[in-house]
């Protein structure tokens, strides 16, 4: 190995550190100025002058912040503080969960564990906040799932509506975003798994049971059934991994 190779690696590492530090500086600038989602950011030229770095370095940092959902670049209009979104997290979870099916399914199982803790833990609060219109939407999602299961069709769309409908009455934007992230990752994961027709029917029946516990205001039963539902998903993942 030549002496130049370690030197080149150090230079790349230093450049990456500087880029990361600049990203942090831009985020601190947003916070210090009291900017909120939708507010315009300083121009590239202003950031170059204020932060004392080159234009290309600023551009690279802004690209990363855009990918992270912190900065929104609108061509022809400028740069803005991004509205709350977790798209980057969704893409990361989706990729690693799907990739893990080739090697034991560890990340996919971790995703299920987090969803289980979140949904089983909050379903009691959701029951307290439930309204007749919201409960009607949950029931409609169950009926859609049952019809799809009987026809041997995928349940994913109706399944998403069921879980979203359960927790919408909480009016918790962060929870809604997180559930959307988890669902985005899981729906892609589910495409790589192949549930049998019997499993489709069983899944629809499990959701019917959860709905009935929610409608009855039975928090303990609803939480137990929700946790059991995710145990079924774990089983499907184990089957998929074991079959490869």
Please report the DSSP string for 193-222 in residue order: S---HHHHHHHHHHHHHHHHHHHTT-HHHH
pLDDT at residue 244, rounded to an integer? 46
**104, 122, 92: which is closest to 182 by C-alpha?**
92
Q: Looking at the chain, how many residues does it have?
A: 244
Integer Cα distance of 186 and 224 in angstroms: 21
CB-based contact 102:231 (threshold 8 Å) = no
Shortest CA distance to 85 belongs to which of 104, 105, 65, 110? 65
Q: What is the per-residue pLDDT for 232?
A: 78
Query: What pTM did the predictor assign?
Result: 0.67
pLDDT at position 6 over 60: no
Chain-centre distance for alpha carbon 164 = 13
What whole-number percentage of the chain has pLDDT above 70?
Answer: 84
> pLDDT tens-digit profile of 108-156?
788 788 889 989 999 999 999 999 999 999 999 999 999 999 998 888 8
- pLDDT value of position 104: 74
Given this model, what pLDDT does residue 110 score?
A: 83
Q: What is the pLDDT of residue 207?
A: 96
Residue 12 pLDDT exceeds 60:
no
Q: Is the pLDDT of residue 41 over 90?
A: yes
């Amino acid at each position: 190995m030549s002496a130049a190779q370690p030197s080149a690696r150090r230079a790349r590492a230093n450049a990456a550190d500087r880029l990361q530090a600049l990203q942090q500086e831009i985020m601190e600038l947003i916070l210090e100025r009291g900017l909120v989602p939708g507010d315009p950011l300083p121009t590239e030229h202003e950031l170059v002058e204020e932060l004392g770095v080159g234009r290309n370095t600023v551009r690279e940092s802004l690209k990363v912040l855009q990918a992270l959902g912190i900065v929104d670049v609108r061509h022809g209009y400028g740069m803005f503080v991004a509205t709350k979104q977790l798209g980057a997290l969704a893409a990361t979870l989706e990729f690693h969960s799907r990739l893990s099916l080739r090697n034991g399914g560890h990340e996919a199982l971790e995703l299920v564990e987090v969803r289980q803790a979140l949904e089983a833990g909050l379903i009691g609060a959701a029951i307290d906040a439930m309204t007749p219109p919201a409960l009607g939407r949950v029931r409609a999602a169950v009926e859609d799932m049952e019809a799809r299961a009987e026809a041997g069709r995928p349940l994913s769309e109706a399944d998403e509506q069921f879980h979203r409908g359960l927790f919408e009455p909480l009016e918790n934007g962060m929870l809604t975003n997180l559930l959307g992230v988890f669902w985005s990752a899981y729906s892609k994961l589910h495409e790589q798994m192949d549930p049998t027709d019997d499993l489709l029917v069983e899944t629809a029946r499990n959701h019917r049971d959860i709905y009935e516990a929610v409608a009855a205001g039975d928090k303990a039963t609803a939480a137990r059934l929700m946790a059991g539902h995710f145990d079924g998903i774990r089983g499907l993942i184990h089957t998929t991994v074991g079959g490869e």
